[in-house]
């Protein structure tokens, strides 16, 4: 781990050295490309270009998620601040930390917040967002962590009255087994006076969900395709964008959006950096990510199995929900 400071007195800790991070990513990439359903780790999406494209996605009219979540937090952030009296706010998967500002404002108004800890895999996105927060909230210490929150929860700063936030339906990017493992780790991380606030997208009209990932400007497609560009650049791979069609479709069985690229014809991709050749059949999917949608009963059961209990639940006409959880069986 190494640390650095920015001009806005932001402390930035990089939790893993570059060599070990790259090695873990390459291993995960090789494993994913050998799987029954070939897939790329989502980390490949979030280089500097990918971070920029994701910010554009959050502004798209079809992409309702950040606006729906923001409205819920605007109305209920003060209640969260009163209930938690948080001294430390940790955001997992922070990105630009836009909706987090509702929590920051409420906690600052409550005069309890001392420290903000944004935690994200993208150092570029994290650094910019953390600096902006430090400039806007000069009385709050900002301690940014660059790492994988699925594996590096042990690096979270200790202390009483911590509020962990996982917004933007980031939790939905984890499939069931990984999600339950992660929630269990979170539950074990929480102290008796800590809490967790989660933003989750709900099951709804399929056409509306699919439209959010098939925007008319093609920004989401460019974002997903950027993963191929990143792999080509770093590993010398021969992914040809012309040989893959973008696809984002609803899986009614899993109740998630499956997002990726489908081979237009049979061909082989060479990846010298992994000493790997990957054969794709015509019509075969290369999955880049999933976005799970939730029903309250299912989520409550998952949380209970992990050792978490839903204390409060706010939703806007069953479109999107924000849940406040604490340690303890549901």
Q: Name the DSSP letter for residue 202.
A: B
- What pairing do the DSSP bridges indicate for beta strands 115-120 and 88-92? parallel
Across-strand partners of 307?
none
- Residue at 82 is within a domain: yes
| pLDDT of the residue at 137 | 93
| pLDDT of the residue at 1 | 54
| pLDDT of the residue at 5 | 45
Residue 55 CB-density burial (10 A; 0-12 exposed, 13-18 middle, 19+ buried): middle
Average pLDDT across each block of 10 residues of the chain; the chain has 330 residues. List them in order.
56 82 92 97 90 91 94 97 97 78 96 94 76 91 88 88 94 92 94 96 95 96 98 98 98 97 98 98 98 96 96 90 88
Domain that holds residue 154: 61-204+293-327
If asked whether residues 225 and 194 sit together in one domain, one would say: no
If asked whether residues 73 and 127 sit together in one domain, one would say: yes
- Give the CA distances from residue 146 to residues 89, 122, 265, 277, 288, in Å, rounded to whole numbers and listed in that order: 16, 7, 39, 31, 22
Phi/psi of residue 159, nearest 5 degrees:
135, 165
| pLDDT of the residue at 8 | 53
Alpha-carbon distance of 247 to 68, in angstroms, equals 24
| pLDDT of the residue at 7 | 47
Alpha-carbon distance of 213 to 160, in angstroms, equals 39
If asked whether residues 236 and 308 sit together in one domain, one would say: no
If asked whether residues 167 and 81 sit together in one domain, one would say: yes
Phi/psi of residue 146, nearest 5 degrees:
-100, 115
Across-strand partners of 214?
none
If asked whether residues 286 and 299 sit together in one domain, one would say: no
Our CA dihedral for 55, 58, 59, 63, rounded to 10 degrees, sits at 150
- Residue at 9 is within a domain: no
If asked whether residues 274 and 182 sit together in one domain, one would say: no
If asked whether residues 91 and 189 sit together in one domain, one would say: yes
Residue 296 CB-density burial (10 A; 0-12 exposed, 13-18 middle, 19+ buried): middle
If asked whether residues 172 and 188 sit together in one domain, one would say: yes
Crossing angle of helices 219-235 and 18-34, in 10° steps, is: 110
| pLDDT of the residue at 94 | 62
For residue 191, which of 153, 149, 160, 157 has the smallest C-alpha distance?
A: 160
- Residue at 221 is within a domain: yes
CB atoms inside a 10 Å sphere around CB 16: 18
Q: Name the DSSP letter for residue 37.
A: S
Which residues have a Cβ under 8 Å from the Cβ of 45 and sit 6 or more positions away? 54, 223, 224, 226, 227, 230, 288, 289
If asked whether residues 240 and 315 sit together in one domain, one would say: no
- Residue at 199 is within a domain: yes
Are 48 and 126 within 8 A, CB to CB? no
Alpha-carbon distance of 227 to 29, in angstroms, equals 11
Alpha-carbon distance of 35 to 24, in angstroms, equals 17
| pLDDT of the residue at 2 | 54
| pLDDT of the residue at 125 | 72
Q: How would you classify residue 130: left for phi > 0, otherwise alpha for psi between -120 and 50, otherwise beta?
A: alpha
Are 92 and 84 within 8 A, CB to CB? no
- Residue at 170 is within a domain: yes
If asked whether residues 234 and 298 sit together in one domain, one would say: no
Q: State whether residue 68 is helix, strand or coil.
A: helix
If asked whether residues 252 and 306 sit together in one domain, one would say: no
Crossing angle of helices 123-136 and 48-57, in 10° steps, is: 60
- Residue at 101 is within a domain: yes
CATH number at residue 97: 3.40.50.150
Q: How far apart are the first and last CA of the chain?
A: 36
Domain tally, the chain:
2
- Residue at 234 is within a domain: yes
| pLDDT of the residue at 10 | 86
What is the pTM (predicted TM-score) of this model? 0.91
Longest Cα separation, the chain = 61
- Residue at 4 is within a domain: no
């Amino acid at each position: 781990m190494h640390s650095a400071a920015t001009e806005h007195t932001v402390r930035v800790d990089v939790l893993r050295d570059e060599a070990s991070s790259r090695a873990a990513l390459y291993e995960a990439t090789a494993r994913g490309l050998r799987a029954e359903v070939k897939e790329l780790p989502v980390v490949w999406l979030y280089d500097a270009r990918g971070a920029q494209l994701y910010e554009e996605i959050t502004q798209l009219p079809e992409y309702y998620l950040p606006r729906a979540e923001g409205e819920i937090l605007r109305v209920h952030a003060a209640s969260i601040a009163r209930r938690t009296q948080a001294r430390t706010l940790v955001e997992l998967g922070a990105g630009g930390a836009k909706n987090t500002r509702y929590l920051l404002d409420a906690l600052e108004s409550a005069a309890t917040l001392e420290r903000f800890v944004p935690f994200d895999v993208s150092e570029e996105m994290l650094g910019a967002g953390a600096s902006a927060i430090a400039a806007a909230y000069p009385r709050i210490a900002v301690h940014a962590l660059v790492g994988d929150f699925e594996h590096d929860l042990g690096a979270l700063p200790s202390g009483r009255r911590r509020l962990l936030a996982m917004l933007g339906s980031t939790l939905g990017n984890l499939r069931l087994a990984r999600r339950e493992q992660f929630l269990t780790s979170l539950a074990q991380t929480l102290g008796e006076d800590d809490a967790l606030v989660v933003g989750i997208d709900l099951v709804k009209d399929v056409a509306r969900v699919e439209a959010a990932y098939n925007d008319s400007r093609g920004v989401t497609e460019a974002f997903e395709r950027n993963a191929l560009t990143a792999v080509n650049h770093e590993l010398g791979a021969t992914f040809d964008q012309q040989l893959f069609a973008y696809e984002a479709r609803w899986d009614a069985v899993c109740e998630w959006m499956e997002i990726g690229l489908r081979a237009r014809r049979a061909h082989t991709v060479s990846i010298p950096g992994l000493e790997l050749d990957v054969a794709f059949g015509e019509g075969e999917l290369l999955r880049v990510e999933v976005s799970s949608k939730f029903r309250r009963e299912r989520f409550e059961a998952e949380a209970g199995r992990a050792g978490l209990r839903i204390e409060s639940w706010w939703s806007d006409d069953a479109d999107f929900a924000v849940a406040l959880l604490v340690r303890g069986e549901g």
